[in-house]
């Protein structure tokens, strides 16, 4: 067998059986040889293209364990982007400018604000947006855990004082019970109808994301909520791109299900199964069920679910632990049903209480279904009770961590201490502890919550746990991991999480030829320099999906 392409260089395979190589051959989109230069000779004939990289490193294509490309790609094109550190006045000016520029849009959407005191004591209000436009305005906060909307948005959907409260969210109201325009967690669903994008818009959004991230070495991604706007449009868009041969990244997706009133959780899982059959292709597969067990923090009040109450005065008074979006009985049913239908479950847990609950549910579901290679993942893992980590290893639950979040600005850390207390704030966002316990660890960014979310930025953050050149932002030095562990988390472990490690995730004979060529060896360079290392080329299935112009 002759190779179509032979590449020489410093090859770091992430294959434990054959960890380093100096030559590889690719034929029909797959690696057919990985070894030394002598051995590759027999794969060369007159038609073989030979490429030599004298410096740098060649790695398997990078993965993203949790990146919301459905909203992210479209947002990049069709959203007003608010600066999280901006003032209310700056937000209003940005929204005004966007409305003037985008007369074609029927709904004005945006994201990026942080609810600050100048917006009002109970979060931002519709009144603040008066006089801007007659069209609905829907703005997501930076973490996408709340919407700030105008009166036109509420009027279009008939939301008023008679709208009943939501069991897994908060409709902020004034003294008379009128919604003020600030909808949190499950209450965001009331507005979803206004946030729908068309299949065409999603296609544009995906292509936009793909171009940017292939140029940064990413070849594999899990979109954790493909039904972001409650429609099937994003899944259908991925499928169409796949059929048209335009999807150059491997995209796995999760379908989010809910328990709140108005949702039939089991029917939603069944719908996901039929959508999976309808959309499965070479580069796209709906393979996960997503559940959001708790909320986020800090907030007024915080909604991530803790074993011990929060420490801010209001929470102490109310013994507030956060908010759960599922009860245990339903969680067990979700795991069981998902497993029966061949789905992996991807669970959002920010608080230690939510993590523990997920593990209890998995344990109980497995008692009923028997052990199987399900590879359920739990993501975010911000506050973790160390006692639960060995349980994750035992249940083969993947830790989908967010290295992109590992730095801690002193001001932000102060906010976290206020709600968590010193000890829990200090102990947030572990990574090494998972590796040490034998848990499979993956790397995620939660894009577009993190934006940009390039893999090399995540790798540097995981190794240093501080912002570039900012030692004052170092958080949890004893949770720093090695560069080798970060590479593992960003390649083979991502493929393991997405159940495609038999064909992706390492440079191994027989696997699809996905790789990234970096201009510097990130295993040897100054870690402060990792995120600046140029990506020289990204290959998917033996074809260059990106190649840097060499000037
Ligand atoms: Zn997310």
What does the pLDDT look like over 484-499, one tens digit per residue? 999 999 999 999 999 9
Distance 402 CA to ligand 1 centre (A): 10
DSSP per-residue string spanning 261-314: TT--HHHHHHHHHHHHHHH--SSEEEEEEEEE-S--SS-TT--S--SS---SHH
Contact 462, 403 (CB under 8 A): yes
Distance, CA 121 to ligand 1 centroid (Å)? 27
Q: Which residue pairs, CB below 8 angstroms and at least 24 apart, start in 97-100?
A: 99/132, 99/133, 99/135
Mean pLDDT of the chain: 95
Joined together, the tokens standing for residue 47 give 């038609």
- Give residue 156 CA to ligand 1 midpoint distance, Å: 28
Torsion angles phi and psi, residue 444, rounded to 5: -140, 160
Q: Produce one character per residue of 43-62: b if its CB has 16 or more CB atoms within 10 Å, e if not.
A: bbeeebeeeebeebbbbbbb
Distance CA 256, CA 345 (A): 10
Spatial CA neighbour of 188 closest among 116, 260, 134: 260
Phi-psi region of 23 (alpha: psi -120 to 50; beta: other; left: phi over 0): beta
Q: Which residue, chain included where needed, has tokens 């979040």?
A: 405
In contact, 68 and 228? CB cutoff 8 Å: yes
Cα 7 to middle of ligand 1, angstroms: 37
Report CA(18)–ligand 1 centroid distance (Å): 35
Q: Which of 319, 313, 311, 303 is nearest to 380 (CA)?
A: 303
Distance 493 CA to ligand 1 centre (A): 19
Distance 165 CA to ligand 1 centre (A): 24
SS3 of residue 540 by DSSP: strand
**252 alpha carbon – ligand 1 mean position (Å):** 14
Ligand 1 centroid from CA 348, angstroms: 7
- Averaged pLDDT, 356-379: 93
Nearest CA to 544 out of 64, 65, 251, 217 is that of 217
Give the residues across from 149 on adjacent strands.
138
Cα(24) to centroid of ligand 1, in Å? 36
Q: What is the pLDDT of residue 133?
A: 96
The sign one gets for the Cα dihedral 501, 507, 513, 518 is positive
**361 has pLDDT over 60:** yes
> How much distance in Å is there from the Cα of 20 to the middle of ligand 1?
34
Does residue 84 surpass a pLDDT of 90?
Answer: no
298 CA from centroid of ligand 1 (Å): 16
For residues 306 and 363, is the Cβ–Cβ distance under 8 A?
A: no
Sequence-distant (6+) residues with CB within 8 A of 505 are 14, 60, 63, 220, 491, 492, 493, 494, 495, 496, 511
Distance 290 CA to ligand 1 centre (A): 10
Q: What is the pLDDT of residues 507-521, one digit of tens each?
A: 999 999 999 999 999
Using 50, 70 and 90 to split pLDDT, how confident is the model at 441? very high
- Of 182-196, 472-486, 516-530, the range with the lowest mean pLDDT is 182-196
Of 431, 375, 440, the closest CA to residue 404 belongs to: 431
Least Cα distance to 216 among 551, 549, 548 occurs for 548
DSSP 184: E
Of residues 1 and 399, the one with the higher pLDDT is 399
Q: How confident is the model at residue 542 (pLDDT cuts 50, 70, 90)?
A: very high
Strand locations in 470-528 (E): 515-518
Centre of ligand 1 from the C-alpha of residue 182, in Å: 20
For ligand 1, the distance from its centroid to the CA atom of residue 28, given in whole angstroms, is 36
d(CA 65, CA 488): 12
Q: What is the DSSP string of 380-448?
A: E--S--GGGHHHHHHTT-EEEE-GGG----HHHHHHHHHHH-HHHHHT-S--HHHHHTT--EEE---TT
pLDDT of residue 354: 98
Would you place residue 367 in the very low, low, confident or very high pLDDT band (cuts 50, 70, 90)? very high
Q: What is the DSSP letter of 549?
A: P
CB 457 within 8 A of CB 415: no
Residue 122 CA, ligand 1 centroid: distance in Å: 24
Is the pLDDT reported for residue 551 higher than 60?
A: no
Instruction: Quote the percentage of the chain above a pLDDT of 70.
Output: 99
Residue 376 has pLDDT above 80, yes or no: yes
* SS3 label, residue 356: helix
Q: What is the pLDDT of residue 115?
A: 84
405 alpha carbon – ligand 1 mean position (Å): 13
Torsion angle of alpha carbons 513, 518, 522, 526, nearest 10°? Answer: -170
Pairing of strands 146-149, 137-141: antiparallel
pTM: 0.91
**In 129-198, which ranges are continuous DSSP H helix?**
151-156
Ligand 1 centre distance from Cα of residue 381 (Å) = 12
pLDDT at 1: 65
61-82: average pLDDT = 93
Ligand 1 centroid – CA 379 distance (Å): 8
Using the predicted structure, report yes or no on whether residue 117 has a pLDDT greater than 90. no
Question: Do 473 and 410 contact (CB within 8 A), yes or no?
Answer: yes
Quickly tell me which residue has 């359920």 as its tokens. 376
Residue 428, both tokens: 């947030």
Helix ranges (DSSP H) in 306-378: 313-318, 328-340, 352-369
Q: What are phi and psi of 324, to 5 degrees?
A: -95, 145
Spatial distance between the Cα atoms of 290 and 473, rounded to a whole number of angstroms:
32
Residue 410 has pLDDT above 80, yes or no: yes
Chain centroid, CA 533 distance in Å: 23
């Amino acid at each position: 067998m002759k190779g179509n392409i032979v590449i020489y260089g410093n090859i770091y395979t992430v294959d434990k059986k054959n960890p380093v190589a100096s030559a590889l051959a690719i034929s029909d989109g797959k690696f057919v040889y990985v070894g030394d230069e002598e051995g590759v000779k027999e794969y060369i004939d007159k038609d073989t293209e030979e490429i030599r990289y004298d410096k740098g490193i060649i790695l398997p294509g990078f993965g993203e364990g949790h990146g919301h490309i459905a909203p992210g790609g479209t947002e990049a094109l069709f959203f007003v982007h608010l600066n999280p550190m901006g003032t209310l006045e700056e937000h209003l000016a940005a929204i005004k400018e966007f409305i003037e520029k985008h007369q074609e849009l029927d709904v004005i959407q945006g994201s990026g604000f942080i609810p600050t005191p100048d917006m009002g004591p109970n979060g931002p209000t519709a009144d603040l947006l008066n006089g801007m436009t007659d069209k609905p305005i829907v703005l997501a906060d930076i973490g996408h855990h709340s919407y700030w909307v105008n009166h036109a948005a509420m009027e279009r959907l008939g939301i008023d004082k008679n709208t009943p409260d939501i069991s897994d969210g908060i409709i902020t109201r004034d003294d008379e019970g009128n919604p003020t325009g600030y909808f949190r967690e499950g209450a965001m669903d009331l507005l979803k109808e206004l946030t729908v994008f068309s299949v065409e818009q999603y296609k544009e959004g995906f292509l936009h994301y793909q171009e940017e991230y292939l140029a940064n070495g990413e070849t594999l991604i899990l979109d954790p909520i493909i039904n972001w706007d409650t429609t099937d449009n994003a899944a259908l868009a991925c499928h169409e791109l796949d059929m048209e041969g335009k999807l150059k990244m491997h995209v796995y997706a999760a379908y989010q299900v809910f328990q709140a009133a108005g949702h039939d959780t089991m029917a939603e899982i069944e719908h996901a199964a039929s959508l999976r059959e309808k959309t499965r292709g070479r580069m796209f597969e709906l393979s996960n069920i997503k559940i959001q067990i708790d909320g986020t923090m800090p907030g007024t009040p915080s909604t991530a679910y803790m074993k011990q109450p929060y420490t801010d005065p209001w929470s102490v008074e109310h013994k507030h632990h956060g908010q759960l979006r599922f009860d245990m009985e339903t969680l067990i049913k979700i795991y069981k049903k998902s497993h029966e239908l061949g789905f992996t479950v991807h669970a959002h847990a920010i608080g230690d209480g939510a993590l523990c609950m997920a593990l209890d549910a998995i344990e109980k579901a497995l008692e009923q279904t028997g052990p199987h290679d399900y590879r359920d993942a739990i993501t975010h893992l911000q506050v973790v009770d160390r006692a639960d980590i060995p349980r994750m290893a035992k249940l083969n639950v993947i830790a989908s961590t967010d290295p992109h979040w590992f730095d801690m600005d002193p001001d932000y850390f102060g906010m976290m201490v206020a709600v968590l207390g010193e000890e829990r704030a200090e102990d947030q966002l572990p990574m090494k502890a998972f590796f040490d316990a034998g848990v499979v660890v993956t790397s995620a960014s939660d894009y577009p919550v993190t934006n940009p979310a390039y893999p090399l930025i995540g790798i540097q953050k995981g190794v240093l746990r501080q912002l570039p050149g900012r030692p004052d932002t170092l958080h949890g030095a004893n949770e720093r991991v090695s560069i080798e562990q970060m590479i593992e988390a960003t390649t083979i472990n991502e493929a393991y999480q997405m159940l495609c490690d038999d064909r992706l995730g390492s440079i191994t004979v027989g696997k699809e030829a996905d790789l990234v060529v970096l201009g510097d060896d990130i295993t040897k360079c100054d870690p402060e320099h990792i995120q600046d290392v140029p990506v020289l080329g990204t290959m998917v299935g033996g074809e260059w999906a990106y190649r840097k112009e060499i000037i």
